[in-house]
Copies of this chain bind each other. A is one copy, B any other.
């Protein structure tokens, strides 16, 4: 039933007719089937070019039962950290012809709504970034028979995943501070937000491990959990400095909070790093501007690898249910707030 349309599309049948072959053969060429004779293949390629043929994605999608698209779900798109991960994903997917749909979660409640948008007929796979992968998620993925990969989430999710070694990151920071002569090193970290993943426990673990290794005293009054905001950091430092024996150095679980710590330090008349050494976490863009020594989490790499993992699931190179865990290790970025370096004049910096 010829519906009205403009100049009707060049279809696979047109190509077949002009090339003097059957549609099946054209389709085989399109899909790289090696059974086609080289001469035939060449001829078909020539005709396709001549007619300007392009296979229709929607028709392929119906026939092959796949969409060549994936869904990316991540929280708080407005945070630099997540945007960078997204960039990594985009980079990896650009090398394929797979498109991606995006769903960002702003509030915890968005989760269930997002789960409903996970549909087999919409995408071929799902990337879950920095999310608490609940049983509801797993059930949905199972029901829709959708492969998924996970990045920066809990360590024990039964899906292929990229795990960030936050404990190692914390150890790097603490060891560095100890090496600079500090013996009283405190921790200010973000809360165990149910909306994000349980990452504090691993950073806390690394912090304690490092202190023990170094033979330093573990003091619970040095472990502070404050909100994931600049003010949170400010509050944290005020509390710490009221202790009878205040720390001389702080490892802060996010650069955002670290900014607050730097501000509080100045308000308290402390000079960073002389009176207080500070090391942050993440290496978001403001860290450099603040001259903040921090632990860099390789965000783009995380995104890229997670995408590649999902692609392997899609191509079948990775069997469904196969256990794959890839670790990513953070890296120490030394700037000025720790005291390891003299600040160069005019570069702006600490406490700005």
Contact = CB atoms under 8 A, between A and B. Distances in A.
Interface string A62-83: 1001010100000001101001
Contacts of A259: 289, 352
Contacts of A263: 348, 352
A87 B77 contact: yes
Contact of A104 (B54, B65, B90): B90
Interface in A231-284: 231, 234, 259-260, 263, 266-267
A351 B290 CA distance: 12
Give the contact-size bracket for chain A: 35 or more
Nearest to A117: B99
A56 interface: yes
B77 A104 contact: no
Contacts of A58: 58, 61-62, 65, 67, 121
A231 B288 CA distance: 12
Contacts of A104: 87, 90
Contacts of A285: 78
Contacts of A106: 87
A34 interface: no
Interface in A207-242: 230-231, 234
A224 B99 CA distance: 42
A6 interface: yes
A348 B78 CA distance: 22
B56 A348 contact: no
A57 interface: yes
Contacts of A145: 6
A192 interface: no
A183 interface: no
A77 B103 CA distance: 15
A77 B69 contact: no
Contacts of A234: 348
A122 interface: yes
A56 B64 CA distance: 13
Contacts of A69: 101
A346 B267 contact: yes
Contacts of A101: 69, 99-101
Contacts of A14: none
B119 A57 contact: yes
A102 interface: yes
A66 to B, nearest CB: 9
